[in-house]
Every structure is written in structure tokens, then in C-alpha cells.
Structure 1
Amino acid sequence: MLSGLQRDSFEYSIHNANPVNGLVRDKSRDGWPASIAAVGLALAAYPIGVERGLMTRDDAVKRTLTTLRFFATAPHGPEPDATGYKGFYYHFLDMHPGRRAWRCELSSVDTALLLAGMLAAAAWLRYDTADENEIRKLADALYRRTDWQWMQHGEATVSHGWTPEKGFLLYRWCGYDEALILYLLGLGSPTYPLPAESYRAWASTYRWKKIYGIEFLYAGPLFIHQLSHLWVDFRGIHDEFMRQHDLDYFENSRRATFVQQQYAIRNPREFEHYDELCWGITASDRPGPRTLLVDGIQRAFHDYIARGVPFVRRLQTKKEPTWRGGRGLTSR
């Protein structure tokens, strides 16, 4: 079963990619644009596909080189229809010309996921051939081009992004979230490194929670506890916060997974099929935002913002967790 799931997941990046530029569709709906995060995940998946016999090395090299050449030569500047600017790239790109889609933002975290995929592919493709040498050079050049200090916009933490119409977004990466890989890449940059105070500022807004008797560094969506781990083995690695709690990020993600499972087992909103084998709530798509009648109960569904466990304020017993003002789970 797991082998089949892995194969099906891997083939998403094959069937939804543009072979001309390497861009990968954000989701399989017709006409949907590419997501640069999806491209980064695909680049990281190609070496695994080769190792598991799901694709040939030659195919992995061809797809990777096509993708990196595209990002190295695509329009890069402050123009509103470019592909990127200052080493960052727009969250969504048109699948064919590869230009900015939907007046979206230059995304700092999605650029980090893209770069992580590039660097992972380059680290694995180590043969001394013209194509693999070019892949390594391009990945290094694209990483060096990213101006992390510019994305700080005068503050310690990193901005969510920038648009040519309105400048930097108001939101910043703080609190435990998927930006762990962003800060690691920023700190390690050989050209525009983030200062150590940037990471400390990000970690200073962490929230330690106890939910269902399990203590851990809290984040609601399951993907937050997984994404950065695709590229870094965090076992035995401790920053100041984790040292204080005698924990590492690997064990923290394990605990967060058990919390997710416990939520499904307890199933406080009485959804059908939730149990110990059907669990894991993360970034969602459809049927919201709307209210539907389900089994005689009016239920409010959300779309992109439905990302954690649980999301909506509800009635609780004294021992159940509650969502307070969008700040996360707490125990009464």
C-alpha cells in the first residue's frame, strides 16, 4: 500500500509538469498555474524516483536541468509580469510562459522551498558529466542570487513577500511555521546571509502547548511539522528553544503527529470516518468557504485558511482544547 501511495504521489510531479520549462502545476485542475513550491518538491522527488525505480537517472537529469535553466534565464526584475526579483520568485507562475500569475506576491517561503529542491537535486546529481556539472553550478548561482536581507525590509524577521504594486506585505514569518527551512537557507547564504538575530526573533514567538496530555512546540497544520524535514534530518539538532525543552524538531514533529491522530480519534465535531486510521489535518482545498447541511447538521467549511486542528471555535468541556482568536490551541 505504501509503495503504491508513493508511486501515485511521485507521478503527480510527472503528469502535471511542463516538460519545456519544468514548472509543476499547483493542483491538477485544468488551467491552473504552477506553484514554485510544487516545483521545489518535484526537484527533491526526482532523485527519490530514481532510487526507487520510478524514473531513470537520465530523465531526472533532463527535467532538473530544464527547470534550473528556466529559472536562471526567465525575466527577473521589478516589472509586474516578471518571473522573479532579487532572487525570489512569484508564488504562482503561468505554466507556459512562466510569468507571474494572478498579481500574486513574490513569496519568500515558497522561494525557500524551491531553492531547497534545487540544492537537494544538485547534491544528489554528483556525476562528472556536462549536464550534472551545469545543474550544480546553476543551483549554486540561483541560491547566491537570493537577497534575504532585502526581504527583511529593515526588521529582524523576514517578510512574507513583496508585490510591485504595493511593496512588502504586512505579514512576517514569526511563530513556529513552515519558515524553518527559510531561516536555515537565509542564515547559510554565502552572499546575503540573515543575521543570527533574525532566527532568534523568529523563535522568540514560539508557543509551547500541552494538548491531549502531549507537550510540544505548537503549530496547527500538519505540513508545518513535515515540510522542512524533507531536506534536513533534525534528529539530535537543538537550538536554544529546543535545548530548554530537552527536545529536537524531529521528536516535536512526532508528537504533533500523535496530537493530530488523537483529534481524529476523539472527533469532537463528529465527522464521519474520522478515526485512528483516518487523520491528519493540514492545508485544505474546498468545499468552502460555504455552509453546507451534512447529515442534518449545518457545518461551516473553509478553504485555504482551514489549516489546523481544530480551526473553528466551538463548545468545549473543561478538558478539551479551544481555539482562541486565531492564536492557536490552548487548554482550559
Structure 2
Amino acid sequence: MKPRRRVTISRSDIKWLGIGALIALVLFSLLLGLLSLLARPRPAAPPAAASETAAPASASPPAATVTPVPSPVFAITFTPTVTPQPQEGEPFSIGKSLEGKSLDVYRFGTGPTARVIIGAIHGGYEGNTATLVYLLRDDLRSGSITVPEDITLYLLPVFNPDGFYDYLDLPAGRSNARGVDLNRNWDALWQADWDRTGCFAAAPISAGESPFSEPETRALRDFLLENRVDALISYHSAMSAIFAGGRPEPDPASDSLARALSQVSAYLYPPINDPGCQYTGQLIDWASANGIAAVDVELTDHKSNDILINRKVLEAFLNWKRGE
């Protein structure tokens, strides 16, 4: 049996063994740290914004080329102010008289069919017609008379304010401030002078220098055309009758309206007291020639307003239909 060989470890060997163990420990620690970092979970990507309506799953199409959109140029725009409509039952002006007095109109209803009632075309000479139209206005304001849904009604109580306020109840009030009869100034068989031959014993009447020479008739003409008026009543006194527009024969629509109003009133149509003279430059004749059913309604005298009769006339006027 051979004797064992004795191993001798020097201090130097022990030193290097310690250094090696230390290095191995450091390397082992670094390796553990690296493995720990790699084992951590990666943060998830944020979810894409969901659309309001989910689309079915499908293969993603190839990305399209995006064209840059130029930045918008902002411009300041102005919205025009709409002229407010007058309050129902409150006056608004459609023009001025020769002396600058306002031609005030009252509106009732908002329907597509426009109708008009006119008073005092002969001013103070027939002042009771203005009183009547004001009374009808009050009935409409109070609701005792209602306007059908398909009608807009306009009231012009005083068409000749210069003759009305300056010469109330006087023959001179028949004309405007220039001495022109506003019911002879329309473009319908117009003549410069109406001598009333065969009609009435009175002085000649001026019809103006030409049709629509007066500011009052121009203002009313424009209002009637702009509002596409369907029918009108022009009040006069004092023949207790109804005259239909149209010469030499009544316009069919005006004739129909005159008959409807005569049926509910004491006013005669056709009038038996018509002197048969030639009326020139009349409002109702011009209106009928322009597609407006038009009548003159003559009150019983120059003082009475005939309100009871004309409440029925107003109801019939509002409910009258063409072709009936």
C-alpha cells in the first residue's frame, strides 16, 4: 500500500480562491437581476378608440395614403336682419299721404289668402265708413269675430287721411290735399276730369294729372300687389247698395262676392238706384282687372255706421270662396 500524498495549500492559494468566489457571487447576482427584468410583464398598448357603431371583424385594409388637409380659413359672415312682422291688431304704415299723414293698416290672421277692407277713400265726406272699419277692428281684437286659418285680413280704416281729418263731414273732404278724388286716380278707364254728367249734381272732380299721380293710390296699389290680395271691400256712403268691380260688365269673381255679401245684408245688388253714369279711374275696376275680387259697399246714409249689418258682411267676406 502506497502512502497518501499530502496536499499543501498556501496562503496565496486561499487568497485567490476567495477572490474567485467573490467574483462568482457578483456574476451570479447580476445574472439573477437580469433574469428578473426579463420576467416582468410588458405594459399593454392602449386600446383603440371605439366607434359608435361596432364594425364586424375583417382583415385590415392596406393603409391609404393620407393627403394633408389645408387649415380652414375662417370668414366673418353677417346674417341679414329680418324686418319683424307687426303685432296682430296693431297698426303699421304702408305709406304717407300728400301731407305726410300715415296710412295705417291693421292685420288679423296669418293665412295664405289675403283680403283687405278699406274705409274713407272719400275722406271726411264719407267719414262714417272709417268709423265702421274701426268698429270691425275692435270686434276682431276682442275675438268676437275670428279670422279663418287660411285668411290674413288687413284693415285700412282711413285711406284718405288728409280729406278725413281736415274736412270731416264736409264735401271738400272727398278729395285729398291736392283736390284729387282718390277713387278716380286708378288706371282703369282713367280720365283727367270726371264731370259726373248724368250722375249727380255736383262740381267737376279732378282725377289727378295721371293714373297713380297721388302718393296714397301708389302706396295702396303697391300693398295690394305685394301681398297678392285675393279680394277687397271698399266702403262708401250713402246708396245702400253694392257695386261689383269690372267694366263694362262685372268681373265674375267680383260679381260672386257682391252676391254673397248682398245675401246677408240689406244692401241691394245689383243696385236699383244706380244712375247708370260712367265711373272712371275706380279702385274696384283696377283691382278686378288685376285678379282681385273687388266691391264697393255703400252704407245707408252719411251718418250711420251700419255695424250690425256689416258684422254679417265681414263674416261672409272672410268665408267667401271663389267659384261659389
Interval containing the TM-score (normalised by the shorter chain): under 0.3
Indicate the structure (1 or 2) with the bigger Cα radius of gyration: 2
- Point out the structure with the larger helix share: 1
Q: Of the two structures, which has the highest relative contact order with CA contacts closer than 8 Å and spacing of 6 or more?
A: 2
TM-score by length of structure 2 reads 0.23
